[in-house]
Amino acid sequence: MLSLDSVTAGYTDENIINEVSLQVDKGELVTIIGPNGCGKSTLMKSIFGLTRMRGGRILFEGRDITGMRPDQLVQRGLSYVPQERNVFPALTAKENLEMGAIALDGGIEDRISLVLELFPTLAGRMEQRAGTLSGGEQKMLAVGRAMIIGPSMLLLDEPSAALSPKVMTQLFSEIQKINERGVTILMVEQNARRALAISDRGYIMEMGRNRLQGPARSLLDNPEVCRLYLGRK
């Protein structure tokens, strides 16, 4: 479904990622892990057309999307949830979801109902300003807004950042449910062990480049990966 071939990109005149390649098949949940500052978030932004591409190619569902604008990618069925600034704090939760549906031609209420099936906690928060929601509720709202368009693929950047262990467990469970509904997911996550535990495959980045890749189970069982990236068992 998604294929990156030797992607090099960054900001201003500096490259942050260099010749990164990866593939995500339809229906998979794939996680990218690696040290802070290794380029994981830049890679996600590059897929979504938010950096300066200087080399390589990105294919989505067999079509070249290299350098496409975010609005064009959303129309093709690709949704992105950034790590930060991912809700409109002055708008209500419902208005945030409606903003996600701005490109749709009707049927908004039905789409909101589907989101509330995934995140029932939000049902009682629809008229509350997003900025007053808890961190976990804001993250659920951000993911829900991305789901409004009915995407075929979801990009998640650090979904568990700053969440309590209990809320993190709940959010990962909901991410699994989204994947089980047929949405392909590419996720960047600092909680590497928890993320790989629910993933089909994983990629490890280091200093802006591919370091390792493989089935998630094999990465979890790899002593070098445990020592360098997961912490000792």
First to last CA, the chain: 34
pLDDT over 90 for what percent of the chain?
83
The whole-number pLDDT of residue 28 equals 98
Average pLDDT, rounded, for the chain: 93
Whether the pLDDT of residue 211 is over 90: the answer is yes
Residue 104: which pLDDT band, with cuts at 50, 70 and 90? confident
Q: What is the mean pLDDT of residues 94-100?
A: 93
The sign of the dihedral angle between the CA atoms of 182, 184, 189, 192 is positive
- pTM attached to this predicted model: 0.94
| Statement: residue 232 has pLDDT above 70 | no
Question: Looking at residues 205-225, what average pLDDT do you find?
Answer: 94
**Mean pLDDT confidence for 191-206:** 95
H or E element that contains 145 = helix 135-147
Q: Residue 233: its pLDDT value, please?
A: 52
Domain 2-84+152-230 sits in CATH 3.40.50.300: yes
Sign of CA dihedral 155, 79, 208, 165: negative
Question: For residue 108, what pLDDT is reported?
Answer: 87
Inter-axis angle of helices 93-100 and 135-147, to 10 degrees?
30
pLDDT at 129: 97
Choose among 14, 3, 4: nearest CA to 52: 14
CA distance linking residue 128 with residue 78, whole number of Å:
28
Domain ranges of the chain: 2-84+152-230
Tens of pLDDT, residues 2-57: 999 999 999 988 899 999 999 999 999 999 999 999 999 999 999 999 999 999 99
